[in-house]
């Protein structure tokens, strides 16, 4: 694995460019890597994540598939257990439901079922989330369906550099990984991304800001929101320990516990629905690891229990900076 | 272990004040033996032991107002002890501490502690951790946070020795900042205080509600009772003794039957005035603890002598604080006889939700003009009637009292009614 800190050559990239770059590195470095998905070849993907890759690596490695999510993932399973390293693209996370059966009954279970003889080294890329005014089913954030089922790791980067490193690490993982890419962050910001390949360890969170008064936890598209909220409340003297979880399963229990034991207070932010959301597991994790350190009940700021609505109503569905600040104040003033 | 809880003694009561306990910790009690006397909205009630056993704990202090459902007394059943008992609630709490701390020294202190002082306190888990690590019994700490929550700084204050753990009364807890200010440390004039609780408080609540809700109108009237007193004296010679009050009630019921609007209650919620077929007359009664209104039921079905007897019984029970909830419910009209105490006029407050209240004042010897225009000495009684002007009007009220006065002034008219 190449050390990220020692990378000298970098390039400005958006998150979607970093994904494209990671895929390019993967295809270059390992002949077993294959890409499968709808319109990913000639068209370069609905979000241009695979732009130029078929041209560079050929139709045998970057494969346009029929409109059949179940078929795509099912094919991926067969390829994976016979030695290939497929990276499949769901155009939107909301389109993953036809493939749900393949994921739940085969992707997550073959290692267990074969008592370790076979594993499924597949990466399922799924653009997710609201905030770009996409039609309703294009905006789902249903990570909790997948974190609930053991056997698949769930990764969700919030920055271009993380996206590249985590995608390459996901590919290197011998087991299946659901790789969530925020639609909202695809072109949200640019940052310097190392040109060479590198990996960021799966299962480790990232401390975005160091603070003492309250722990803020989020992932993907909500990370910029909590960073903004933290810098706003900092002006009032509230210092936030801000954590980007990066991997949703398995969670970085140590980092979360260490932080909440320091601050005694926590606010969890996710855009997925409240009921059955991953935030609930985080509350449980805090309860299990840090109950005696808590000075206030843990707050959650989440999407509401409705499908992501159309148009500008999305702005009311998604957690906003002001909702996060209100939650921070509630725990601070408890 | 049996927990004796404050239950709903009356209709929908929510809290009661502990008056006193008949027992103390360690006493052996029999089944149904009275344990505690509780003042509810209306009556002082006794709670008795549901089973025989030994009193282990008394959890609320006399003077305290507790909510329905609060455990007041814990009785250990005979033939069991706390170690064998199936539900050793407090012991469990001790065990919990043992498991979590694992500290042997603390185990000993927790287990040996006098559990009668344990109570539930509000505190965050972190505050509890500080208390545990510093061996402070958090149940003993008075919190200064919202709703009396124990805060970290309350514990730090104890550790620094600037505060003693104590179980002070609520009144002292309310204003922690003010207590330490110079205003309170200045020499102050001693005042005697009477606790504004129990029946006094209930009377206050009820009167305030009545007077702020009901547009009261009071009209005054007088009745010349010479003939009635003659009748009373005459019957006494024949060995029949009735009180004037009994006669008042008997005639009042007749007047009420003719003017049923005054034997009604207003049900605002359902927007109806309920005219009652029962004539349950409330008797405003002065007691050492304050005003209470026992109800003489079915006055219309009773003779003057029966009314007399029952009235005396109710009054006596009121004086001895022996009234039951049943004795106080269902009144349709209230009469307040302040005559024996003096007073010739008042503006009484209606016993809501009833429509009217009649106060009877002192009967005095006064010059009166007779039928044949002579001036004579008469026994004149004054009365004040307050009524709810939402329900009835002045003309109705005057017609009602006129009818009553007729029967008071000329007892023969009552006979006509009884025929």
Residue A2 has pLDDT above 80, yes or no: no
pLDDT digits (tens, 9 = 90+) for B249-270: 999 999 999 999 999 999 888 8
Contact B129 A292 (CB under 8 A): yes
Contact B125 A296 (CB under 8 A): no
Report percent pLDDT > 90 for chain B: 36
Return the number of CB contacts < 8 Å for A and B.
Answer: 20
Q: Are A283 and A121 in contact (CB under 8 A)?
A: no
At B189, is the pLDDT very low, low, confident or very high (cuts 50, 70, 90)?
Answer: low
The β-bridge partners of B267 are B272
For residue A296, the chain B residues in CB contact (below 8 A) are 124
Taking the CA of residue B121 as centre, how many other CA atoms within 13 Å lie in the half-sphere pointing to its CB? 25
Q: Which secondary-structure segment (H or E) carries A280?
A: helix A278-290
Instruction: Output DSSP code: residue A136.
Output: G
Q: What is the pLDDT of residue A148?
A: 97
pLDDT digits (tens, 9 = 90+) for A137-171: 999 999 999 999 999 999 999 999 999 999 999 99
Cα of A283 to nearest chain B Cα, Å: 14
Residue A1 has pLDDT above 60, yes or no: no
Low-confidence winner among A9-23, A88-102, B128-142 (lowest mean pLDDT): B128-142
For residue B127, the chain A residues in CB contact (below 8 A) are 295
Q: Are B13 and B202 in contact (CB under 8 A)?
A: no
Q: Cα separation of B45 and B22, whole Å?
A: 12
Cα of A334 to nearest chain B Cα, Å: 9
Contact A334 B124 (CB under 8 A): yes
Q: What is the pLDDT of residue B269?
A: 87
Q: Are B21 and B64 in contact (CB under 8 A)?
A: no
For residue A334, the chain B residues in CB contact (below 8 A) are 124
Q: Cα separation of B20 and B37, whole Å?
A: 5
Burial track B182-191 (b if 16+ CB lie within 10 A, e otherwise): eeeeeeeeee
Length of chain B: 419
Q: Cα separation of A129 and A141, whole Å?
A: 5
Cα of A229 to nearest chain B Cα, Å: 25
pLDDT digits (tens, 9 = 90+) for A182-209: 999 999 899 999 999 999 999 999 999 9
For the beta carbon of residue B364, count every other beta carbon within 10 angstroms: 13
Better-predicted residue by pLDDT, B122 or A101: A101
Is pTM, for the whole model, over 0.80? Answer: no
Contact A293 B126 (CB under 8 A): yes
- Residue B389 catalytic? yes
Instruction: Output DSSP code: residue A264.
Output: S
Low-confidence winner among A37-51, A165-179, B88-102 (lowest mean pLDDT): B88-102
For the beta carbon of residue B250, count every other beta carbon within 10 angstroms: 23
Contact B125 A294 (CB under 8 A): yes
Q: What is the pLDDT of residue A293?
A: 93
Contact A334 B129 (CB under 8 A): no
For residue A291, the chain B residues in CB contact (below 8 A) are 125
At B135, is the pLDDT very low, low, confident or very high (cuts 50, 70, 90)?
Answer: confident
Q: What is the pLDDT of residue B268?
A: 87
Residue B115 has pLDDT above 50, yes or no: no
At B326, is the pLDDT very low, low, confident or very high (cuts 50, 70, 90)?
Answer: confident
Q: What is the pLDDT of residue A186?
A: 96
For the beta carbon of residue B131, count every other beta carbon within 10 angstroms: 24
The token pair at B163 is: 């505060």
Q: Cα separation of B306 and B132, whole Å?
A: 69
Q: In Å, how far are B6, B30, B55, B82, B205 from B50, measured between CA atoms?
A: 12, 9, 12, 18, 33
Average pLDDT over residues B348-360: 94
Q: Which residue of B has its CA nearest to A287?
A: B125
Average pLDDT over residues A88-98: 97
For tokens 């009396």, the residue is B148
For residue A295, the chain B residues in CB contact (below 8 A) are 124-127, 152
DSSP letter string, A164-229:
HHHHHHHHHSSS-EEEEEEHHHHTT--EEEESS-----TT--EEEE--SSEEEEE-TTHHHHHHHH
At B140, is the pLDDT very low, low, confident or very high (cuts 50, 70, 90)?
Answer: confident
Contact A292 B127 (CB under 8 A): no
Q: Are A49 and A23 in contact (CB under 8 A)?
A: yes
Q: What is the pLDDT of residue B66?
A: 85
At B351, is the pLDDT very low, low, confident or very high (cuts 50, 70, 90)?
Answer: very high
Angle among Cα A307, A313, A317 to the nearest 5 degrees reads 55
Best-predicted range by mean pLDDT (A18-27, B41-50, B83-92, B144-153): A18-27
Q: What is the pLDDT of residue B280?
A: 96
Contact A264 B126 (CB under 8 A): yes
Q: Which of A293, A296, A334 sits opposite B129 (nearest CB)?
A: A293
Q: What is the pLDDT of residue B27?
A: 87
Q: Cα separation of B155 and B90, whole Å?
A: 23
Surface-to-core class of residue B268, CB atoms within 10 Å of its CB (0-12 exposed, 13-18 middle, 19+ buried): exposed
Q: What is the pLDDT of residue A66?
A: 97
Interface test with B, best of A257, A295, A331 (most B CBs within 10 A): A295
**Nearby residues of B410 by Cβ (< 8 Å), 6 or more positions away:** B227
Low-confidence winner among A265-274, B4-13, B76-85, B344-353 (lowest mean pLDDT): B76-85
The β-bridge partners of A88 are A36, A124
- Assign B3 to helix, strand or coil: strand
Better-predicted residue by pLDDT, B95 or B401: B401
Q: Cα separation of A77 and A75, whole Å?
A: 5
Q: In Å, how far are A50, B45, B230 from B5, measured between CA atoms?
A: 71, 13, 56
Conformation bin of residue A51: beta by default, left when phi > 0, alpha when psi is -120 to 50: beta
Cis previous bond, A297, omega within 30 = no
Instruction: Output DSSP code: residue B341.
Output: G
Average pLDDT, chain B: 81
Nearest to B41 by CA among B208, B200, B196, B195: B200
**Nearby residues of B282 by Cβ (< 8 Å), 6 or more positions away:** B293, B294, B295, B296, B331, B332, B333, B334, B335, B351, B354
Q: Which secondary-structure segment (H or E) carries B184?
A: helix B182-185
Burial track A75-107 (b if 16+ CB lie within 10 A, e otherwise): bbbebbbeebbbbbbbbbbbbbbebbebbbebb
At B85, is the pLDDT very low, low, confident or very high (cuts 50, 70, 90)?
Answer: very low
Residue B51 has pLDDT above 60, yes or no: yes
Q: What is the pLDDT of residue B94?
A: 35
For residue B152, the chain A residues in CB contact (below 8 A) are 295
Q: In Å, how far are A33, B100, B229, B258 from B409, measured between CA atoms?
A: 116, 84, 10, 18
Length of chain A: 334
pLDDT digits (tens, 9 = 90+) for B268-318: 888 999 999 999 999 999 988 888 999 999 999 999 999 999 999 999 999
At B49, is the pLDDT very low, low, confident or very high (cuts 50, 70, 90)?
Answer: confident
At B188, is the pLDDT very low, low, confident or very high (cuts 50, 70, 90)?
Answer: low
Report percent pLDDT > 70 for chain B: 82
pLDDT digits (tens, 9 = 90+) for A206-253: 999 999 999 999 999 999 999 999 999 999 999 999 999 999 999 999
Q: Cα separation of A28 and A165, whole Å?
A: 15
The β-bridge partners of B71 are B5
């Amino acid at each position: 694995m190449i050390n990220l800190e020692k990378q000298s050559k970098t390039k400005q990239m958006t998150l979607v460019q970093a994904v494209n770059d990671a895929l390019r590195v993967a295809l270059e470095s390992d002949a077993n890597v294959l890409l499968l998905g709808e319109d990913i070849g000639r068209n370069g993907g609905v979000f241009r994540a695979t732009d130029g890759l078929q041209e560079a690596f050929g139709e045998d490695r970057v494969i346009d598939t029929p409109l059949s999510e179940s078929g795509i993932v099912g094919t991926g399973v067969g390829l994976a257990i016979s030695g290939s390293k497929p990276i499949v693209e769901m155009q939107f996370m909301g389109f993953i439901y036809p493939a749900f059966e393949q994921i739940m009954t085969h992707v997550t279970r073959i290692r267990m079922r074969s008592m370790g003889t076979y594993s499924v080294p597949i990466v399922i890329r799924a653009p997710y989330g609201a905030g770009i005014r996409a039609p309703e089913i294009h905006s789902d954030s249903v990570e909790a369906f997948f974190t609930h089922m053991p056997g698949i790791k769930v990764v969700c980067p919030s920055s271009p550099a993380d996206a590249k490193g985590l995608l390459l690490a996901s590919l290197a993982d011998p087991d299946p990984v659901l790789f969530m890419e925020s639609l909202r962050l695809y072109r949200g910001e640019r940052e310097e991304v190392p040109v060479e390949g590198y990996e960021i360890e799966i299962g480790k969170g990232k401390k975005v800001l160091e603070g003492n008064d309250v722990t803020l936890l989020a992932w993907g598209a909500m990370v910029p929101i909590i960073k903004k909220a933290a810098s706003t409340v900092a002006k009032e003297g509230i210092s936030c320990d801000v954590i980007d979880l990066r991997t949703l399963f398995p969670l970085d229990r140590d980092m979360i516990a260490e932080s909440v034991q320091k601050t005694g207070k926590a606010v969890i932010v996710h855009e997925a629905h409240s009921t059955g959301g991953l935030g609930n597991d985080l509350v449980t994790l805090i309860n299990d690891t840090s109950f005696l350190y808590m000075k206030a009940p843990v707050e959650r700021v989440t999407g509401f229990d409705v499908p992501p609505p159309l148009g500008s109503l999305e702005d009311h569905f998604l957690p906003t900076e002001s909702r996060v600040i209100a939650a921070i104040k509630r725990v601070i003033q408890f | 272990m049996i927990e004796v809880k404050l239950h709903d003694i009356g209709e929908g009561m929510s809290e009661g004040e502990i008056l006193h306990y008949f027992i103390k910790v360690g006493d052996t009690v029999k089944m149904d033996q009275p344990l505690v006397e509780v003042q509810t909205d209306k009556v002082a009630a006794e709670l008795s032991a549901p089973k025989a056993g030994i009193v282990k704990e008394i959890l609320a202090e006399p003077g305290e107002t507790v909510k329905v459902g609060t455990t007041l007394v814990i009785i250990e059943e005979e033939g069991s002890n706390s170690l064998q008992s199936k539900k050793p609630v407090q012991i469990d709490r001790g065990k919990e501490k043992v498991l979590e701390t694992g500290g042997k020294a603390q185990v000993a202190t927790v287990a040996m502690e006098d559990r009668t002082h344990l109570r539930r306190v509000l505190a965050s888990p972190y505050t509890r951790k500080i208390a545990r690590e510093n061996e402070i019994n958090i149940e003993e700490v008075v919190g200064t946070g919202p709703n009396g929550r124990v805060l970290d700084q309350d514990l730090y204050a104890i550790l620094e020795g600037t505060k003693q753990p104590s179980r002070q009364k609520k009144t002292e807890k309310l204003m922690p900042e003010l207590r330490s200010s110079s205003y309170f440390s200045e020499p102050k004039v001693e005042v005697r205080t009477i606790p504004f609780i129990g029946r006094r408080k209930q009377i206050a609540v009820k009167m305030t509600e009545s007077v702020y809700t009901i547009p009261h109108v009071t009209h005054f009237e007088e009745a010349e009772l010479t003939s009635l007193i003659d009748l009373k004296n005459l019957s006494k010679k024949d060995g029949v003794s009735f009180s004037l009050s009994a006669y008042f009630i008997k005639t009042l019921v007749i007047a009420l039957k003719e003017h049923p609007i005054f034997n009604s209650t207003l049900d605002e919620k359902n927007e109806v005035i309920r005219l009652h077929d029962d004539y349950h007359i409330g008797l405003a009664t002065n007691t050492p603890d304050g005003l209470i209104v026992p109800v003489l039921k079915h006055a219309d079905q009773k003779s003057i002598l029966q009314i007399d007897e029952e009235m005396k019984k109710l009054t006596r029970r009121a004086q001895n604080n022996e009234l039951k909830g049943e004795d106080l419910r269902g009144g349709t009209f209230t009469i307040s006889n302040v005559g024996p105490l003096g007073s010739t006029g008042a503006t009484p407050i209606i016993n809501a939700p009833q429509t009217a209240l009649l106060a009877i004042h002192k009967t005095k010897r006064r010059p009166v003009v007779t039928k044949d225009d002579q001036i004579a000495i008469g026994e004149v009684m004054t009365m004040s009637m307050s009524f709810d002007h939402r329900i009835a009007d002045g003309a109705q009220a005057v017609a009602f009292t006129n009818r009553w006065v007729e029967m008071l002034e000329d007892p023969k008219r009552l006979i006509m009614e009884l025929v």
